[in-house]
Chains A and B, each alone.
Chain A
Amino acid sequence: MRQIYEFAVGPLAWAAFAVFILGSAWRFYSMYTLARKKDGPFLSYMSWKFSLRSIAHWLTPFGSLGWRENADVTIVTFIFHLCLIGLPILALGHVVLLDRYQGIEYWFLPEGAADIMTLAVMACCLYFAVRRLTNVTVRYVGSVRDFGVLALAFAPFCTGFLAYHQIGPPLAMTTLHVLSGELMLMAIPFTRLSHMIFGLFARAYVGSEFGGVRHAKDW
């Protein structure tokens, strides 16, 4: 088990980051190339000003009509994404690992706060899962794949929580935590999690078109 753990935090971690970074870069580059080839006229409308204006509104809780009219989803979505992105970067265990392997040291979250945020991510996942089963529209358009993506996001936080609280065999749980985190990282460019990469650009395009051509807000 120790060897698996060492492999997971060593070479596999490098591989996971490489797949995530290079995969995302490749996905972005190939999408951009495709856009240049087939959507050239549309690219010409891209504007930093209107892109950022639109993104800023959509990154503000209740800053758009869609957020306002889906209040519960809005609250859960913002908590979920803040914790999902913030926790892996600022959790004590991760900062310690970075310090040990790379000599990089920075501020980390108090353990209590990290614990609450972990629970929050799991609770949000549960909310999304229940919503997938109960909301008529989401059920109508959803598939098993959506639960798969949700499970990808849930697993590292669940195993991290269990490992931190020493529930189950600590090393095995920690190894599972590392592996599931790496799996999620590697899945980002190639699954629906790619909305992390493309969502911002789609919003930027809409913002540019609405701002620069249609002179109307898109939020």
Chain B
Amino acid sequence: MGIEARKIEDVGLRTGVSRLTPEKIQKAFKALMAGEGGARLKTYVETCVRCGMCAPACHYFLSHGDDPSYSPVGKVRQTMWELIRKDGRVDPEEIYGMAQVAYTECNLCRRCMHYCALGIDTAYIMTVVRRLCHKLGVTPQYMQDTAHSHSAVLNQMWVKDDEWIDTLQWQEEEARDEFPGIRIPLEKEGADFMYSVIAPEPKFRTQLIYQAAAIMHVAGVDWTMPATPGWDNSNLAMFSGDTEIMGRIERFHFEAAQRLRVKRIVMGECGHAFRAVYDTGNRWLGWKMSPVPVIHSVQFFWELLNEGKITIAKKFPGPVTVHDPCNVVRGRGLMDKLREVVAALCDDIVEMHPNREHNLCCCAGGGVINCGPPFKNVRIAGNKAKADQLAATGVKTVVAPCHNCHGGLDDIIHHFKLGMELKFLGDIIYECMERPED
């Protein structure tokens, strides 16, 4: 029982620990505690009464036959408590295990906060462990690659500046067959809003940009996208523990919007990106709330439907179920708007249980899916609980307004042979909206 019995080889973690000694680890740990380890960490570690009430909160715990080493408190025991107990003087191999726990066995979904009477934020403790691992150079290879990409080109997928613009123009041209007057307005100063997406969209999910442009066109909104870095709203450095790069990405994102003098930022259907922009990046940059108003697509679509800018020509054939992504529901309270949008699109909604703020995680977020193929089976095995939850709805369509959720749910749907298909809200709106005659 415990991480030592389930180590997975990862070249990033292995190379990282090969350069460490207990002395180096202790030095880094002490520096981290002296600099960043504040009252929150101290309070959380001191006040935990080891009651174990948080265990059933975690999908890993539920999916692994109640193995306590997968419980939230079990993960803290294997990482932060151990570091504090030994004052940071741990073996490199122990750091390997701690990194694997923090990066691949916790999605930072914060469901366990609904279980802890003392308000202990296990996700925060895991981010501190990740921060230490980052400072020690012990990060999963795939995740580190995305952080490098953010660092070098300010997007997650090594998309070059001209490729970004070319992709938008390509999608605009494609869409002109269907909507002759359509534009994807680049660099339009003073537009109502800047639309930002995650880098996987131009890289391999270009149809989502196409669909978004189609919806904007039909709705007749005044929008723009930046032609410069800052267009990618994703942020994997936030999850790797590279807070400096995390902040730099967010600064570029906000400054792109400020340069374009837009009134607000509308973000695509991504959860972690929303967390980075709305909840994390702004704080690092010294803003209590984001310096430019930010809304997620769920809210944007809700506004379009409520203001009558989009009308639904035909209902999507149900039944469908709704997955509440942690970062826009526990992170932004959009559960009601999400349901109102889905209800406008489809008459037959079957709720999964638990739902809303209590929903089970997709097991992809928090950077876990970004740790790549070596850990794919960890998150699939770790989310049997979600597969059971989905299967219990008996429906064939899952609406999930989050990229990471799509990735995680898609994998469990295939692995557990659930025979379900996944939809973004944009997919359904694009399919069902009333289109102009042009």
Q: Could you tell me which A residues sit within 8 Å of B by CB distance?
A: 31-32, 34-35, 37-39, 41-42, 44-45, 54, 58, 64-67, 69-70, 73, 77, 135-143, 146, 149, 192, 194-195, 198-199, 201-207, 210, 213-219
Separation in Å of the A162 CB from the closest CB of chain B?
27
**How far, in whole Å, are A137 and B332 apart by their CA atoms in the complex?**
31
Counting chain A CB atoms within 10 Å of each CB, which of B48, B50, B56, B118 scores highest?
A: B50
Contact B115 A69 (CB under 8 A): yes
- For A38, give its contact among B38, B114, B286 (CB under 8 Å): B38
Number of A-B contacts (CB under 8 A): 147
A-B contact pairs, 28 of them (CB 8 A): A31-B39, A31-B43, A35-B39, A58-B117, A64-B114, A65-B57, A65-B114, A69-B115, A73-B51, A137-B55, A139-B68, A140-B69, A141-B52, A141-B76, A192-B46, A195-B48, A195-B49, A202-B47, A202-B118, A203-B118, A203-B119, A206-B113, A213-B279, A214-B279, A215-B333, A216-B330, A218-B119, A219-B114
Min C-beta distance of A41 to chain B, whole Å: 5
Q: Which 5 A-B pairs have the closest CB atoms?
A: A38-B38, A215-B333, A66-B115, A35-B39, A140-B68
Q: CB within 8 A of B283: which of A37, A41, A217?
A: A41
Q: Choose one: B38, B66, B119, B335; the contact of A199 (CB below 8 Å).
A: B119
B113 partner residues in chain A, CB cutoff 8 A: 206, 210, 218
B120 close to chain A: CB less than 8 A: yes
Residues in B with CB closer than 8 Å to A139 are: 68
When the two chains form their complex, are residues A42 and B329 in contact, meaning their CB atoms are under 8 A apart?
A: no
Task: Return chain B residues, CB-CB under 8 Å to A66.
Answer: 53-54, 57, 114-117
B288 touches A202 (CB 8 A): no
Counting CB contacts under 8 A, is B73 at the interface? yes
* A32 nearest CB across to chain B (Å): 7
Q: Is B200 an interface residue (CB 8 A)?
A: no
Whole-angstrom distance from the CB of B276 to the nearest CB of chain A?
Answer: 14
Q: Which residues of B contact A138 (CB under 8 A)?
A: 50-52
B357-368: contact bitstring with A at CB < 8 Å (1 yes, 0 no)?
Answer: 110000000000
B392 contacts A by Cβ under 8 Å: no
Residues of A within 8 Å of B5, CB to CB, are none
Closest to B69 in A: A140
- A205 and B358 CA atoms in complex are apart in Å by 19
Known: A192-B47, A192-B48. 5 other contacts (CB 8 A): A35-B40, A64-B115, A64-B117, A195-B47, A216-B332
Q: Do B74 and A206 touch across chains, with their CB atoms under 8 A apart?
A: no
Whether the pair B50, A141 counts as a contact (CB closer than 8 A) is yes
- Shortest C-beta distance, B299 to chain A (Å), equals 11
Complex CA distance for A119 and B287, rounded to whole angstroms: 53
Complex Cα distance A134/B282, Å?
Answer: 45
Q: How far is the CB of A140 from chain B (nearest CB, A)?
A: 4
B12 to chain A, nearest CB (A): 28
Q: B299-341: which have CB < 8 Å to A?
A: 329-333, 335
- Tell whether A136 pairs with B66 under 8 Å between CB atoms, given A31-B43, A38-B36: yes
**Within the assembled complex, what's the spacing in Å between the Cα atoms of A194 and B55?**
22
